[in-house]
Amino acid sequence: MKSLTRRDVLLRWGAVSAGAVSMGFAGVRLSTSKVKLPADASGVGYGELVRDRKRRLDLPRGFSYQVISEVGDSMDDGLVVPGSPDGMATFSGPDGLTVLIRNHELNPDVSVGPFGKKNKLFGGVDPERVYDDGHGKTPGLGGTTTVVYDTNRQRIVRQFMSLAGTYRNCAGGPTPWGTWLTCEETVQREGRGDEGGKFVAARDHGWVFEVPATVEPGLAVPEPIRAMGRFNHEAVAIDPPSGAVYMTEDRDDGLLYRFLPKTPGKLHDGGRLQALSLQDDSGGETRNWGQTSISPGQPRPVTWIDLDDIESPRDDLRFRGFRAGAARFARGEGIWYGDKEVYFACTSGGRARVGQIWRYRPSVHEGTQKEAKVPGELELFVEPNDTRLLNNADNLTVAPWGDVVVCEDQKRSVVRLVGITPAGGIYTLAHSRMRTEFTGVTFSPDGTTLFVNAQGKGLTIAITGPWKQSIA
C-alpha cells in the first residue's frame, strides 16, 4: 500500500491551522483509517510485517536477517567484540568486500569491553595505540571495531578492533575519502572519574577521531581532531563539494556545528568551527516546545557563526554559541548526507517531544565568501508528534534510492526502523521485539544489505530482501 505523503496530508488538511499540521498527527489519522491497522503494526512501505518466531526482528514478507556479530565473540586480532554497538558506516573494500566500521558506546566501567573480563587482554595491545589507558587500570573501552563482510555470501570474513581507548563512541560519519569519523559522546575531563569512583580519565574526552577503512587488522593512531571542538559529539556528515563537516550535539539545548577545514580531506590540518544561525524571528528556537512554531516544508535561510575557545574546558560551547545567535536543537543525533542535502534527527524535538527530522541544503557557495548571496537553507522535514508514526528518532541513513531510514531511541516492547520517503511519507520497515534501541543503520555500498545494531543485546544484524527504488 502507498503511504500518504506530506503533500497529501497538507492538501487534505489545508483548512487546519499550521500548528495542527506538524506532519504526522493528521497524517496518521488518515493513514490508519485506510490500512485498518495501528500504525505500529503496519509495514506500509513494503507490506505487512511477518512476525519472527524467534521474537527478534519482524520484517516484510520476502526479507530476512541474520545476526552476524555478537558481544563477546572472539575477533581476529585476539580481542573480543565489545558491547553497546552504535553508529556505523560502510565502505567499498577489495574484491567486492564491504568494510563496516562500528562504534561502541562504552565507558571503562562495563563488564564486556574489547579486552575481555577484567581487561586480561589489555597487555597484548600496543600502548601507543590506546588513547586513554586509564593509568593501566581502567582503559577506555569504547572505540571502533571493523567488520569485513562478503555481501555475496552474506558472511563475515574477519573483524578486529580499529580504535582503542576512547569513551562512549556514539555515532559519527563516513568521509568521501574513505575514512570513518567517530565521536565521543562525553566531556569527561582528565583526572576526573565517574560518580561511583570506578574509573578516572587519564586524558580529556569529547573529541572526534578518524579511523581508516581497512581490511587488515590494526589500530588507528588515536589522535583527536581538536579543531573540530570538544562537546557532547553525536554524529557527522560531510558535504563533498565544499568539504564542510556538519556535527550534531546530543543535548536538549545543543547546536548544529559546521567545521570548515583548511585543507579539504585533511582535518588534522585545522580549520574554523561554526554554529548555524537562522535568519528569521524564531530567536534561535527550533524545538517547537512552545516558544515558537516552525512548520514543516518551509525552507529558512541560515548564516554560520564563528566560535572561539572551541576546546571548551567548561563544556559551555553551546551556551556561548546560543548567546551569539546560534539556533539550538533538541538532542541532535543522527545525521547523513543525501543528494545535495543533509538530514539530521532531533530526538526530543517537536510539540510532543517525540522527535523531528530536519533537512539542510548547503549553499552552492558553501563555506566561501559568496555564501551570503545564496545562503544554505534549513527546513523542518517531518515532525510527527505521534508515537504511532515515529518515537524518538536517533541514528539515520539515506538509502541509495533517497528514503531516510531512522532508528528509534527507546526500549519499549516493540522498537522500529522507520522509513521516510523524499516526499515525507512515513512507513514502518521493521520491528524489534528485543526491548532495546536500534542503532547504526547503514546500507552496504552495493545496496543489497542493510546493517543495524540491537544495542542493548550487543548484536549486529544484516537484513536482505527485495529493496525497491522507491515506495512513494
User: Average pLDDT for residues 412-428, to the nearest whole number?
Assistant: 90
And the C-alpha cell for 150? Answer: 562478503
Residues 40-63: tens digit of each pLDDT: 344 457 888 999 999 999 999 999
If DSSP codes are grouped into helix, strand and coil, which group holds residue 419? strand
User: What is the per-residue pLDDT for 38?
Assistant: 35
Residues 261-284: tens digit of each pLDDT: 999 999 999 999 999 999 998 889
How far is residue 386's CA from residue 363's CA, in Å, rounded to a whole number? Answer: 33
- Residue 26 confidence (pLDDT) above 90: no
Residues 168-217: tens digit of each pLDDT: 999 999 999 999 999 999 999 999 887 677 899 999 999 999 999 999 99
If DSSP codes are grouped into helix, strand and coil, which group holds residue 361? strand
Lowest mean pLDDT among 29-33, 39-43, 98-102: 29-33
Higher per-residue confidence, 25 vs 65: 65
Residues 130-171: tens digit of each pLDDT: 999 999 999 999 999 999 999 999 999 999 999 999 999 999
Q: In what order do the strands lie in the sheet with 155-164?
A: 85-92, 98-104, 143-150, 155-164
How far is residue 26's CA from residue 462's CA, in Å, rounded to a whole number? Answer: 34
The residues near 100 (Cβ < 8 Å, ≥ 6 apart) are 88, 89, 90, 146, 147, 148, 149, 442, 444, 451, 460
Lowest mean pLDDT among 33-37, 263-267, 386-390, 466-470: 33-37
How far is residue 103's CA from residue 99's CA, in Å, rounded to a whole number? Answer: 13
How far is residue 300's CA from residue 243's CA, in Å, rounded to a whole number? Answer: 22
How far is residue 345's CA from residue 171's CA, in Å, rounded to a whole number? Answer: 12
Residues 318-331: tens digit of each pLDDT: 999 999 999 999 99
How far is residue 120's CA from residue 421's CA, in Å, rounded to a whole number? Answer: 48
Cβ atoms 201, 132 nearer than 8 A:
yes
User: What is the per-residue pLDDT for 412?
Assistant: 76
| DSSP classification of residue 130 | B
User: Average pLDDT for residues 306-325, to the nearest whole number?
Assistant: 97
Q: What does R_g of the chain's alpha carbons equal in angstroms?
A: 21
If DSSP codes are grouped into helix, strand and coil, which group holds residue 308? coil
Burial call 103-141: b when 16+ CB within 10 Å, e when fewer: bbbbbbeeebbbbbeebebbeebeeebbbbbbeeebbbb
What is the pLDDT of the chain when averaged over all its residues?
A: 89
Cβ atoms 265, 273 nearer than 8 A:
no
| 25-33 contacts at long range (C-beta below 8 A, 24 or more positions apart) | 25/384, 25/385, 25/386, 27/384, 27/389, 27/426, 28/384, 28/386, 28/388, 28/389, 30/4, 31/3, 31/4, 31/426, 32/388
Share of the chain above pLDDT 70, in %: 89
The residues near 440 (Cβ < 8 Å, ≥ 6 apart) are 85, 86, 87, 88, 102, 103, 171, 395, 407, 451, 452, 453, 460
- Residue 292 confidence (pLDDT) above 60: yes
**pTM of the predicted structure, to 2 decimals:** 0.90
Cβ atoms 406, 417 nearer than 8 A:
yes
- Residue 15 confidence (pLDDT) above 70: no
Sign of the alpha-carbon dihedral angle for 121, 124, 75, 166: positive
- Residue 395 confidence (pLDDT) above 50: yes
Higher per-residue confidence, 23 vs 322: 322
User: What is the per-residue pLDDT for 111?
Assistant: 78
If DSSP codes are grouped into helix, strand and coil, which group holds residue 268? helix
If DSSP codes are grouped into helix, strand and coil, which group holds residue 10? helix
* CA angle (8 as vertex; 7, 14 as ends), nearest 5: 85
Which of these, 442, 226, 236, lies nearest to 333 by C-alpha position? Answer: 236
Residues 335-394: tens digit of each pLDDT: 999 999 999 999 999 999 999 999 999 999 999 999 999 999 999 999 999 999 999 999
User: What is the per-residue pLDDT for 27?
Assistant: 27
Category of 24 on φ-ψ map: left (φ > 0), alpha (ψ -120 to 50) or beta = left
- Residue 291 confidence (pLDDT) above 80: no
